[in-house]
Chain A
Amino acid sequence: MNESRRKPLKASDKLVFLLSLVPYLLEQQVVDVPDAAAHFGVTDDEIRDAVRLIATSGLPGATGTYQPNDLFDIDWDAFEDDDVIVIVHHVAIDDAPRLSAREAAALIAGLQYLSALPENAGSASLGALMQKLTAGASAAPTRLAVAESESDASLAAIRAAVADGRQLEFDYRNAVGVAGRRRVDPLRILSQDADWYLQAYCHTREDVRNFRVDRMSDLVVSDLPIGEHAETVVPDTLFQGSDSDFDVVVDALPEALPLLADYLADSKSEEVDGRLRVTLRLAHVHGLKRLVAGLPGLVTVVSPAEARAAVAGWATAGLAGYADDEASGH
């Protein structure tokens, strides 16, 4: 039943905002609208609307008529003339609200994921912070947890290089299978689930590239400082399109579709015999054969023929490693 009732999420978020803004304004005593907006990450107008609502809210009171003394009040002159908020009378609430079980759990699990970061590894302060969140929840946090994963040993060195602004050198074998020594200006460490990437300006390619941390070896932090990158655009996504991309039509079981989300060329899909026919866009056939072989039975390439052949060839070459088993009649 709760599934079908779509919660008016906006109203509940606004309620939380109102309940949080009141104690903040009381604590600050006098605060400029733009400062409050910056603190909460909302627009000036959102702050002004909320303040107007708060200033006319309160308790029904003994008579049920919302008499002035039962309402919040602000210094209206300061508000209207100078954009300054001063609460001069408040009712009912004055302190920060507790977190819900779900809210606390979401932050705790997020922190657990961050424990893979080198500076947090085995950190006691992270544990203390999680305990504080637990204490600040109105009920035991939802039993949601993220196992601490062993972070790649290279990550600490990369992190240090990012923080100090120093160049890195490493051997790298890219997705196409070409290996070589790279010298880069590290810009940002990006992760997706269990995979870690370095976004860096590559001196060899003279452009920003994403490097999988687990494909790096013989990593050395250089003494050379990184170049000036104030103008450099570091993309927010791992998968960027390029002119050399190619499209592949595949049939996928519906449950496999989320696993292909990064590669979908468009949102179109057509049902064919209980499977969904979709178009994927990939940088290279090397990526495709690994992707499809890793989703055995879930995804089948329909066209082009070369792509089908590449996947068949990859799997067949893999099978050849087990030729003895095949021969012995399994």
Chain B
Amino acid sequence: MALVLKNITKVVQGVTHIKPTSLTLETGHFNVLLGETGAGKTSLIKMMAGLDPIASGTMEMDGVDVTGLSTQKRKISLVHQFFVNYPHMTVYDNIASPLRVAGMAKSEIDGRVQEAADILKLGPMLKRRPHELSGGQQQRCALARAIAKDSQAVFLDEPLANLDYKLREELREMLPELFAGRGAVVVYATSEPEEALLLGGMTALMMDGSVAQFGKTAEIYRAPATLTAAQVFSDPPINDAPVRKEGDTLVMGDIRWPAIGDASGLSDGNYTVAVRPNFILPTATATATVPLSGKVSVTELSGSESSAHFDLHGKGWVSLSHGTHPYRIGEDHTFYMDASACLYFAPDGSRVA
């Protein structure tokens, strides 16, 4: 089964919200829509769900044109960022409600509700009402409603965004097995690059109402097509600066390093270099050899990783490394960059090496 979008657009009162977008979303893996707030993830999902009209273009589900089909007639599920359950119904009735609307037999409904509740560990809460559940349980109830139903497509719009860290981890681990073998096209919107990497599958990077790049999640991460794609798919933000190629050397202010790998094939001229923070380390290693000196402004320790923000030629750069390091805020520190991990972009933003 596949959900195929052909040049679909969304226009609200003359303003284009989604520029012509074509995507082929398939079953068997997660299709992640990754982008910042306002990039158009929710708009795209609402169009795919039939909740918002498509201004132009067509949409096919399993080879059938569903562009103008009403939401009620599509076999889809949607889980929102905030927890949407019928407030006065028990968890059981909430999960059963779409099945009852579909006119399913009582025994079959019971079987499906029990199955969904077992997978999502809601068994003991079936008789409770949503307001008697914790946030994580409420969202599990919404997810159970989505999987109990025979859906051709399941849309998950930042379903973990309103949960606290631990619950988010727990629920994210459950997600892949939840949809495995159900045959539905799973679309997952998120603003967190880390989440896209953890879920794997395919990723569509969204920017300003259009898809900047679509492909296997790991490949896009490794080889972003444009500078903006690299910026969207990096947390902490990717470091970038203007650089000049001169012969077999790259020059960034007073810093020089030899052109290696693809970069050696670049013609002389101006480029933008981008380096992910985890390739800028506080000490020299076999690969991290290019020294960068700058004044440390902020340091953060998150679990086993530590990050340092430092000033390089008037721009803020970030280093991310394992372990803890005795940075002194306000003092110069020499970091080391891994030249082989540098990405180079032409002035028009496309990646050249």
Q: Indicate whether A and B interact.
A: no
Where the two chains meet, the residues of A that have a C-beta atom closer than 8 Å to any C-beta of B are none
Where the two chains meet, the residues of B that have a C-beta atom closer than 8 Å to any C-beta of A are none
